[in-house]
Chains A and B, each alone.
Chain A
Amino acid sequence: MRIKFEVNGTKVELDVEPRVSLADCLRDTLRLTGTHLGCEHGVCGACTVIVDGAAVRACLMLAVQAHGEHIVTVEGLSNDDALSPLQASFRKHHALQCGFCTPGMITTAHALLTEEPDADAERVREVLSGNICRCTGYIPIIKAVLEARAHYAGEDAPP
């Protein structure tokens, strides 16, 4: 099927089989391999991307369902010049070990703080409960997200 959508600000148009998940389309066709696939059935959260502002699991969405949507992947949340507030905070707090879950943590946290810059510790814990870290480094991840909140409250919040 011919589909068009926007990913990280770039318009793309491609042919895709209906059965291809958005995650596989991003990784295999568009070579955006920052989106990681852990479980492929909606449990681990590693493949989280942002679809029209909402964090969703890219393994539970078909690429054909993305037709007409605006997608942001973890690649769209960084730039070559400087660390983003979330990246800097994750680095400061050692909020990753093996790094496999990190793209999903970053996209989820970005969507949350964009919508709720005043999210408290309990809310951050609740939201991140949908993302599994097998190194079990949850405490530093929560600290990192909480510290990054300040950057989302002001007018210079990341896009």
Chain B
Amino acid sequence: MKFPAFEYARPTSLDAALGLLKVHGADAVLLAGGQSLMPLLAFRLAAPGLLVDLKDVPGLGAIGIDAEGVRLGAFVRWCEIDRNARLAAAHPLLVEAIGHVAHYQIRNRGTVGGSLAYADPAAEMPGIAVTCDGEIIVMGGAGERRVAAADFFLGALTTCLEPGEIITGLRLPAWPKDRRWAFLEFARRRGDFALAGTALYYDLDSEGRAVDAHIGVIGAADRPMRLAEAERAINGSAVDADSIAAAAEAASLEVDPMEDFHAPVAYRRALVQTLVARALTRAAG
């Protein structure tokens, strides 16, 4: 369908953008890459009075890598993550996961901030933010606040963003060089939203046992989530066939999949079990 009617503004500073949000309230919607918003408009699931295009707001497009970790500006596009050679070393799990986002043309437009704000339960960027202890940087009328990704996503397509706030970036903590990790997802066609997926990592202590395991899943609940029971099954153990099987089984019981026309709940639980087992096997290999 054609888009509903709206006004369009392209502010040239963050302050001007915040000012527009203040004046227009919930009637204003931010536009970054538009790869989630435009379909919503086309389906008439959203009908904002004003689109505030962030394209000309300076300072949102930077990728920063330092001892603290990785900082992705909200306007960083997927194709820029692909092309950044340093990111692959600084955060291999991020780069691998983002490689699964949508299709070529969408990857040329879609942005980090847009994906976080849209909060699709099966999307890769929110999944990585939650799995990797990410922090979402938000600017509002009262200044900047940082929200742990684990607290940011409240449900399907729902975040803790207040009216008048703008995501400016995402911080991911530094990535030790020897960390073991894997990302796997399953979709029926390449580029589709995954039926389920997992991002996971752990470090090894001097005895070869897993420590600080982070096992996250997407498409397996109303938001991306970490699986405490599955992590417990791995932490302190050698990552071998027994601990992998235990963690994968724990994962399948711990998730809370939604029933929809793509797959029943039992299928998604089984898929999570398979993906977590395969991902841990890959990480250990």
Contact = CB atoms under 8 A, between A and B. Distances in A.
A119 to B, nearest CB: 11
If over half of B's interface residues share one DSSP class (helix, strand or loop), that class is named, otherwise mixed; here it is loop
Contacts of B1: 40
Interface string B19-35: 00000000000010011
The 8 closest A-B pairs by CB, nearest first: A130-B103, A18-B8, A54-B108, A60-B38, A41-B42, A19-B3, A127-B104, A41-B39
Interface string A47-80: 0100000111101111011010000000000000
Nearest to B77: A54
17 contacts: A18-B51, A21-B38, A24-B2, A40-B1, A41-B43, A54-B109, A57-B109, A59-B38, A60-B34, A60-B38, A60-B106, A62-B8, A67-B10, A126-B104, A129-B103, A129-B104, A130-B103
Nearest to A123: B104
A55 B34 CA distance: 15
Contacts of B31: 65
Interface residues of B, number: 30
B161 interface: no
B190 A126 contact: yes
B35 A60 contact: yes
A82 interface: no
A108 B107 CA distance: 13
Interface string B211-234: 000000000000000000000000
Contacts, number: 86
If over half of A's interface residues share one DSSP class (helix, strand or loop), that class is named, otherwise mixed; here it is mixed
B38 A61 contact: yes
Size category of the binding interface on chain A? 20 to 34
A129 B187 CA distance: 13
Given A19-B2, A62-B38, A64-B8, 19 more contacts: A1-B8, A18-B5, A18-B8, A19-B3, A20-B3, A42-B106, A48-B105, A54-B79, A55-B105, A56-B105, A56-B109, A60-B39, A64-B10, A64-B53, A108-B105, A126-B104, A127-B104, A130-B105, A130-B106
Contacts of A126: 104, 190
A83 B126 CA distance: 45
